[in-house]
């Protein structure tokens, strides 16, 4: 007999042991991650490990981020319900779902067409596609037609900060982006304010490489 996992319990456990215990304090983020069924965003063969403390292979050489990293990025962006958000690198759509359950709307760009389609299907399946648009294409230069954004999240490691992303931010606005070499990066946060650009380092990290015009070729 096969046991059906208690997904809500796994989710609760993930929120407590991986997020609250590591300084994720933003209740909106914790609530969002308690609500979004991550098990539907990982490939079926990895569903049993949907809530483990690590990234998971989603095919096409890409991954769904570790839950903690998704939470940390969303918390760092200080999202609220009036925000218009751009994500670069939708992958399977999980982080878009998390941010979309907090913010007003999310547009997320994905360079692998098959993943863009999977992200769209996943979001539709879990009923979270109402305020989220997945666009297939290169997002390394942002997405001008919906700009400006209150918050931008880049989910792939960039060799440098693309200027167009900073330009597409509102003032005030926030950007999180992993910057470094192909293997290791630091997660940086930008606060764009009337007084100028304020950069901080959040943590060391390891994302898949950002491709496209402003990424690694
Ligand atoms: N946001 C995802 C993580 C995705 S991994 C999550 O929910 O966990 C990063 C994704 O960025 C990969 O799917 C990769 O294909 C995509 N990517 C890389 N370069 C890109 C680019 N220039 N534009 C859009 N997507 C890109």
pTM here?
A: 0.98
State the closest ligand 1 atom to the C-alpha of 58, by its place in the atom list counted from 1: 13
Q: 79 lies in a domain?
A: yes
Q: 212 lies in a domain?
A: no
How many domains are there within the chain?
Answer: 1
Q: Is 65 a catalytic residue?
A: yes
Residue-wise pLDDT tens for the chain (217 aa)?
667 899 999 999 999 999 999 999 999 999 999 999 999 999 999 999 999 999 999 999 999 999 999 999 999 999 999 999 999 999 999 999 999 999 999 999 999 999 999 999 999 999 999 999 999 999 999 999 999 999 999 999 999 999 999 999 999 999 999 999 999 999 999 999 999 999 999 999 999 999 999 999 8
CATH number of the domain where residue 59 is located: 3.40.50.150
What is the per-residue pLDDT for 217? Answer: 82
Q: Which residue CA neighbors atom 17 of ligand 1 most closely?
A: 89
What is the per-residue pLDDT for 1? Answer: 62
- How many residues appear in the chain? 217
Q: Are 34 and 28 in contact (CB under 8 A)?
A: no
Question: CA 70, CA 15: separation in Å to the nearest integer?
Answer: 12
Ligand 1 within 6 A of 212 CB? yes
Ligand 1 within 6 A of 122 CB? no
Q: 215 lies in a domain?
A: no
Q: 2 lies in a domain?
A: no
The catalytic position among 17, 65, 82, 153 is: 65
Ligand 1 within 6 A of 153 CB? no
Output the CA–CA distances (angstroms, integers) from residue 11 to 6, 39, 94, 141, in the order listed: 9, 9, 14, 34
Question: CA 201, CA 181: separation in Å to the nearest integer?
Answer: 15
């Amino acid at each position: 007999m096969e046991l059906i996992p208690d997904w809500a319990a796994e989710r609760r456990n993930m929120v407590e042991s991986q997020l609250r215990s590591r300084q994720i304090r933003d209740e909106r983020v914790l609530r969002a991650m308690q609500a979004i069924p991550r098990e539907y965003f990982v490939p079926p063969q990895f569903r049993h490990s949907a809530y483990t403390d690590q990234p998971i292979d989603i095919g096409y050489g890409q991954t769904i981020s570790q839950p903690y990293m998704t939470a940390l990025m969303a918390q760092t962006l200080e999202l609220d319900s009036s925000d218009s958000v751009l994500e670069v690198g939708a992958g399977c759509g999980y982080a878009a779902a998390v941010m979309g359950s907090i913010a007003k709307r999310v547009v997320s760009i994905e360079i692998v067409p098959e993943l863009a389609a999977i992200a769209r299907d996943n979001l539709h399946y879990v009923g979270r596609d109402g305020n989220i648009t997945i666009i297939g294409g290169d997002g390394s230069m942002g997405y001008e037609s919906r700009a400006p954004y209150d918050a931008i999240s880049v989910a792939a490691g960039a060799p440098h900060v693309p200027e167009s992303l900073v330009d597409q931010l509102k003032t005030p606005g926030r950007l999180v982006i992993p910057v470094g070499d192909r293997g290791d990066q630091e997660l940086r946060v930008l606060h764009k304010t009337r007084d100028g650009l304020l950069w901080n380092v959040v943590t060391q990290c390891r994302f898949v490489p950002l491709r496209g015009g402003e990424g690694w070729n």
